[in-house]
């Protein structure tokens, strides 16, 4: 139960960090909320890097494309944007590990 409380706080932090409407999201299931955060992060990264989204591609592969594109565009992005996308990509891989049962 204690881990669920911690997980809830972490999820709320993600929702706040990415500007998702907290009032609406807390009424949804944890699974739906995680999916919403994942989708939001993916959209942010892909739009910022001008990557065409492929909804049929597995999450891990989409993140790898984001990371490759980020590396290729490193010289053209400001440091803050580069760091934000790198952090977001790492978060997406963590979400993937959790949802695939690695953790």
- Give alpha helix (H) positions in 2-100: 2-17, 22-25, 30-48, 59-72, 79-99
**Segments forming the whole domain that contains residue 38:** 2-99
- Return the number of other C-beta atoms located less than 10 Å from residue 21's C-beta: 9
If you search the block for the tokens 């909804």, which residue do you land on?
55
The helix or strand, by DSSP H or E, that contains position 75, with its residue range, turns out to be: none
pLDDT tens profile 90-101: 999 987 776 655
Q: What is the dihedral of CA 50, 21, 18, 60, to 10 degrees?
A: -60
Q: How many domains does the chain have?
A: 1
pLDDT tens profile 53-65: 998 999 999 999 9
CB 25 within 8 A of CB 13: no
As given in the structure block, the two tokens for residue 61 are 């592969």
Q: For residues 76 and 2, which has the higher predicted lDDT (pLDDT)?
A: 76
CB 34 within 8 A of CB 41: no
């Amino acid at each position: 139960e204690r881990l669920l409380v911690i997980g809830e706080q972490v999820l709320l932090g993600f929702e706040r960090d990415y500007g998702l409407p907290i009032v609406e999201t807390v009424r949804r299931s944890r699974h739906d909320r995680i999916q919403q955060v994942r989708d939001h992060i993916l959209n942010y990264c892909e739009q910022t890097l001008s990557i065409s989204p492929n909804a049929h591609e597995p999450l891990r592969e989409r993140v790898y494309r984001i990371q490759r594109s980020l590396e290729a565009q490193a010289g053209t992005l400001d440091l803050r944007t580069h760091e934000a996308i790198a952090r977001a990509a790492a978060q997406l891989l963590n979400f993937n590990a959790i949802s695939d049962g690695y953790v």
